[in-house]
Amino acid sequence: MQLEGFQQNVQYEGDDEKIWIKLIREGADVVADSAPQITIYGPGGTELVAAADMTRDAATSFYYYELDASDTDDFPLSLDYKADVVSLVDEIEQTEPIFFDVVRYPMTDPLLSSADIDDIKPMWAASRPAGWGSAWQIPIQLAHRELCNDLRKIRLKDQTFARPGMILSRTKVYMAALAYTQHMIAEGIGLEDEELEDYRVERNGAIDNMGPLNVDLDDDGIVDDDERDQSTGGTALLR
């Protein structure tokens, strides 16, 4: 059994935040015998939440814990909070860690809306797959997750990696989000190979071509002099 933990962000002073996990085994989704338990530690190792039950998300293999991070003494702005998750599947117990950050701009929600896509590409609405419903929310969410995962591969000048919500060059991040989302939709609606390839190339070059990025290293919402040009886009990426 494997626990899939996504690098997550929690809103600073947030009182209704969720920490997520997904249970899988050999590539297949599985369900726990009983509620997994989560223990949360601060960056210094102090135990903040002890063996709390997680909640299953509908009939899926996703589980979440509702975290109250409004006490800023316990949950200050900081990176690399740790949580140990104990899960039991088919009577086999396993403990695995996941990590999350407490930040001002968690970037948990996509930057684009369905209305944005309808405004940009109104002709696509007639080709929307039935499984996507009456809006573009499914491909937007999938593209957002892929974008955040790739933004985390950007290496900064101090040899650490970027946190998506701390990138202050927001117009560049928005344009990357647009490229990822349009490619996701283009695949789903079945564009001709040549046109689809154009969207694929644009998506694959979106982060490489971002250029120098301003990164809010101290998470105060202000671009300080030492936070300018912290990365040079594609030349800073690990492949």
**Could you read off the pLDDT of 3-55 as tens digits, one per residue?**
555 668 899 999 989 998 888 887 788 999 999 999 999 999 999 999 999 99
Sequence-separated (6 or more) residues with CB below 8 Å from residue 136 = 114, 117, 118, 128, 181, 185
Residue 99 CA to residue 63 CA, distance in Å, equals 15
| Average pLDDT of the segment spanning 168-177 | 93
For residue 164, the model assigns a pLDDT of: 86
C-alpha span between 227 and 162 (Å, rounded) = 12
- Spatial distance between the Cα atoms of 86 and 81, rounded to a whole number of angstroms: 17
Per DSSP, helices labelled H in the chain are: 114-120, 137-151, 170-189, 193-204
Mean of pLDDT over the chain: 89
Instruction: State the average pLDDT over residues 84-94.
Output: 92
Residue 233 has pLDDT above 60, yes or no: no
Task: For CATH 2.60.40.10, list the domain ranges present in the chain.
Answer: 2-103
With a cut of 50, say whether residue 133 has pLDDT above it: yes
pLDDT of residue 78: 87
Q: Is the pLDDT of residue 127 over 50?
A: yes
Residues 233 and 210: beta-carbon distance below 8 Å: yes
Q: pLDDT at position 6, please?
A: 60
Is 96 in contact with 39 (CB distance < 8 Å)?
no
Query: Does residue 205 have a pLDDT over 80?
Result: yes
DSSP code for 126:
G
In this prediction, residue 45 carries a pLDDT of 93
Note the Cα 110 to chain centre separation in Å: 9
Using CB atoms within 10 Å of the CB of residue 212, give its burial: 0 to 12 exposed, 13 to 18 middle, 19+ buried: middle
- Residue % of the chain over a pLDDT of 90: 55
Rounded-to-integer distance, Cα 122 and Cα 133, Å? 16
Confidence of residue 238 (pLDDT cuts 50, 70, 90): very low
Provide the whole-model pTM: 0.74
Query: What kind of architecture, by CATH, is found in domain 2-103?
Result: Sandwich (2.60)
Mean pLDDT of 136-158: 90
Q: What is the mean pLDDT of residues 44-71?
A: 94
Is residue 69 a contact partner of residue 101, using CB atoms and an 8 Å limit?
Answer: no
The whole-number pLDDT of residue 5 equals 53
Three-state DSSP state, 125:
helix
pLDDT the model gives residue 237: 45
